[in-house]
């Protein structure tokens, strides 16, 4: 769409406004994607830390360790 605006025969102020809008929209989508990826990474790290802590507790109490089943979300 940005390429189409470059070759548009509309008034320049309209092309600039549309370009600014599209770039803002694209930036917002990229930002949301990065935030989602960061949340997923944090959740995986938290799950790994919890599994490690559970393993440590099992070993310190002399109990039998049962490996947790992976969850596929």
pLDDT digits (tens, 9 = 90+) for 8-41: 999 999 999 999 999 999 999 999 999 999 999 9
Domain range annotation of the chain: 2-60
Q: How confident is residue 62, by pLDDT bands cut at 50, 70 and 90?
A: low
DSSP letter (8 states) at residue 20: H
Determine the Cα–Cα distance for residues 20 and 1; give it in Å rounded to an integer.
12
């Amino acid at each position: 769409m940005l390429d189409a605006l470059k070759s548009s025969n509309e008034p320049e102020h309209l092309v600039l406004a549309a370009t600014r809008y599209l770039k803002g929209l694209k930036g917002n989508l990229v930002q949301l994607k990065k935030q989602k990826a960061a949340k997923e990474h944090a959740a995986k790290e938290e799950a790994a830390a919890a599994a490690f802590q559970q393993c440590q507790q099992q070993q310190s109490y002399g109990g039998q360790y049962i490996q947790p089943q992976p969850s596929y979300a």
